[in-house]
Amino acid sequence: MELLSGLIDNYYYFVAIILFVIGMHTMLTHSNMIKKVIAMNIMDTSVFLLFVAIGYVHGGRPPIIAGNEEALYVNPLPGALILTGIVVAVSVTAYALSLIVKIHRTYGTVDCDEICKIRGDE
Amino acid sequence: MVLSEQLPALIVISPLICAFLSPLLYRRHARASAYLVLLSLLLSLVMAAALLIKVQRSGPLFYQMGSWPPPWGIEYVADPLRVYMLLVVVAVSLWIFLYAIQDLGHELREEVIGWYYTLYSLLVASMAAMTLTNDLFNLFVLMEICAITSCAIITIKEDRECLEAGFKYLILSAMGTGCFLLGVAMLYMVTGYLNFDFLQEELSTAVLNYPLNVFTAAALFIVAFGTKAALFPLHVWLPDAHASAPSPSSAMLSGLVIKIYAFTLFIIFYRVFPRSLLDSLPLSEIVLWLAAFGVMFGSIYAMLQTDLKKMLAYSSIGQIAFIFMGIGLDQRLALVGGLYHIAVHAITKAMLFMAAGTVIYATGVRKISDLAGIGRVMPLVMVAFTIGSASMIGIPGTGGLISKWYLALGALESGRSLFVLVILLSSLLNAIYYMPIVINSFMSQEDFGHEAREVPKVLQSALVIGMIFVALTGIFSRPLIQLIEAQITLLF
């Protein structure tokens, strides 16, 4: 019972892990490259969600100092880190997509299995 | 402000600035742009050497980025072990770049070479920073820079094979960094720190209160670094990526990029995880067994290859596993062997890829069976290949012997004689697939059947430098071994 209520209280951790597994599974098993990139983003975003959730303090205010030093603040550090993480994820996505464009130009498909077949026939 | 205290940052900044300037310069003066990269790498090398002397004399240097103190600010630490790795990174990449200047012209389109310089400098900067950083999140960012640039120096060639291999590499390394970041989140959750030293202190109590979190993080780290460094079952991306890339990229990827991740795993095992965690969980044991399988399977796969560069790529899977074996044995002498193997293999494999690249440059031949008699046409290149092979096998006088010797000593001392057998057997297998190439190229009855153009002086000198390096690591290993040994002793 304690475990269950612990899970319900911290459901965002749970959601993050489920998203992570969905992302990783799709990324490794789907043969469509665009889907792989989408899955990569789902996976990254799930970790960002987890990180931001760690920094959340129940009933906390935004971490802006407004004269009143006693107030409870949300931990600002994870937010700052994840901002960097998002930038990194965007650049990886951009690179992956540009790579897919090139692959489509050379092979005429964005499906990994078909590319394997084309390469096998050569 | 004393300049020598800024060294850790300056070493990283020098190639970073060059990364922005070189493509601009390339439009006007292609030659000058290459010299700029050389200059910046040389500058980093000199600074790294100065840093080594400084830390040897006055102990580890802690550098706070922007003077923000840890645990919030990013901290760089320069201790002799990290600076040793830094020196290997900068020195080997400078040497490979020397080779790249000449070789790139025939593998890439003229207008992208300037961009190649950018990617190359960024890669060096990220790897140099990875050896020094003392902050998990900074490490994540650097790993992503390293991942993108190392994929990009493969796909910049834009032929069919490279594009596909590059995409596979990108996806798997994205999975690696995803796992790594999740692991970081797990540790941050229980400790609230990202700085290595603070984490280690806090983890020794956290591991008792929240064992699940810490265990998951440890498992995720092994998957993350295992994927990136091509530890045995996670190596699938490596052969295609390393074999299809332009030769300087292959040398860089096989020589340095996979090693940097093995080194980072070592740092995380010994500088982030408290001793009690390593003792209570079979982490080293897992790494050890994966490494043992990697050593065997890498060599067996390599024997089956018909393409020269692919064979070298598979051989890398076997050789990187030696470094993991050092970490896995979790024993003083074995760690010395494993860490020394980083330098030895970085030099040797880079040289072998350069030799293979030179053969392709001059003759266009990639198949192993076509190499018969080539030693009489291109003696210098094949002598370099022979010396590299000797070091891979571990023949006395080369660095390969020293690192395998220490690994075997470590295995014996911790009572794991089985792994001595694995090391011996893998040397034998290495001999089985390297020696026929060497023997065939010099003593084959047939003459070499393809046209060979003359090998440019730059490529030749790069190979000569490589041979000197390999001989030095074999004959004058004492100073480096002593440096590593002194540092490893502090860990136990």
Residues belonging to chain B with any Cβ–Cβ distance to chain A shorter than 8 Å: 72, 137, 140-141, 144, 147-148, 151-152, 155, 158, 160-161, 163-164, 166-167, 170-171, 174-175, 178, 181-182, 185, 188-189, 194
Place of tokens 């998957």: B223
| A40 and chain B in contact, CB less than 8 A | yes
A115/B170 Cβ within 8 A = no
Determine the Cα–Cα distance for residues B157 and B437; give it in Å rounded to an integer.
27
Q: Closest residue of A to B172, CA-based? A: A28
Question: Do the Cβ atoms of B344 and B399 come closer than 8 Å?
Answer: yes
Interface mutation target, options B167, B186, B191, B194, chain A, most CBs of A under 10 Å: B167
**B378: DSSP letter:** S
Residue type, B99: Y
What is the spatial distance between Cα B479 and Cα B185, in angstroms, rounded to a whole number?
A: 40
Give the single-character DSSP code of A73: B
Q: Is residue B284 packed enough to be buried (19+ CB in 10 Å), middle (13-18) or exposed (0-12)? A: middle
How near does any CA of chain A get to the CA of B482, in Å? Answer: 39
Q: What is the mean pLDDT of residues A63-77?
A: 77
**Which positions in chain B touch A25 (Cβ < 8 Å)?**
none
Does A102 contact B at CB distance below 8 Å?
A: yes
Instruction: Determine contact: A107 vs chain B, CB below 8 A.
Output: yes
Residue-level pLDDT, tens digit, chain B, 492 residues:
577 788 889 999 999 999 999 888 888 888 888 899 999 999 999 999 999 999 888 888 898 888 888 888 899 999 899 999 999 999 999 999 999 988 888 888 888 888 999 999 999 999 999 999 999 999 999 999 999 999 999 999 888 888 989 999 999 999 999 999 999 999 998 888 899 999 888 888 888 888 888 888 999 999 999 999 988 888 888 988 888 889 999 999 998 999 999 999 999 999 888 888 888 888 888 999 999 999 999 899 988 888 889 999 999 999 999 999 999 888 889 999 999 999 999 999 999 999 999 988 888 888 888 888 888 888 888 899 999 999 988 888 888 888 999 999 999 998 888 899 999 999 999 998 888 888 888 887 777 777 778 888 888 899 999 999 888 888 888 888 888 888 888 887
Into how many domains does chain A fold? 1
| ipTM of model | 0.93
Report CA-CA distances (Å) from B54 to B1, B10, B466, B483, B484. 16, 15, 27, 14, 16
The shortest CB-CB distance from A99 to any of B166, B175, B178 is to B166
Mutation site for B-interface testing, chosen from A41, A75, A103, A121 by largest number of B Cβ within 10 Å: A103
- Strand blocks (E) in B225-345: none
Of A11-25, A70-84, A88-102, give the lowest mean pLDDT range. A70-84
Per the CB < 8 Å rule, is A20 touching B182?
Answer: yes
Which two tokens mark B434?
A: 């390297």
What pLDDT is recorded for position B339?
A: 92
- For residues B38 and B22, the answer to whether their CB atoms sit within 8 Å is no
State which residues form the domain around A97. Answer: 2-121
- Under the banding of pLDDT at 50, 70 and 90, the label for residue A69 is low
Check if the beta carbon of residue B450 is closer than 8 Å to that of residue B328. Answer: no
Q: How far apart are CA B131 and CA B413, in angstroms?
A: 29
CA distance B244 to B227: 19
Judge: A103–B158 Cβ closer than 8 Å, yes or no. Answer: no
Contact A47 B181 (CB under 8 A): yes
| pTM (whole model) above 0.90 | yes
DSSP-derived letter for residue B397 is T
Residue of B nearest to A116 (CA): B164
In 3D space, the residue among B323, B186, B160 whose CA is nearest the CA of residue B255 turns out to be B323
The answer to whether B178 contacts A85, with C-beta atoms less than 8 Å apart, is no
Contact yes or no for B185 and A47 at CB 8 A:
yes
CB contact under 8 A, B163 and A102: yes
DSSP B147: H
Judge whether residue A68 has pLDDT over 70: no
- Per the prediction, chain A carries an average pLDDT of 87
Measured between CA atoms, how close is B224 to chain A, in angstroms?
13
Q: Which residues are bridge partners to A73 per DSSP?
A: A61
Rounded-to-integer distance, Cα B246 and Cα B101, Å: 12
The CATH number linked to A64 is 1.10.287.3510
A39 touches chain B (CB under 8 A): no
Counted across chains A and B, CB pairs separated by less than 8 A come out at: 80
At residue A57 the predicted structure's pLDDT band, cuts being 50, 70 and 90, is confident
Are the beta carbons of B149 and B119 closer than 8 angstroms?
Answer: yes
- Do the Cβ atoms of A27 and B144 come within 8 Å? no
Q: Looking at the complex, report in whole angstroms how far the Cα of residue A67 sits from the nearest Cα belonging to chain B.
A: 23
> Across the interface, do B148 and A92 touch by the CB < 8 Å criterion?
yes
| Contact of B382 with B326, CB cutoff 8 Å | no
CB contact under 8 A, A78 and B188: yes
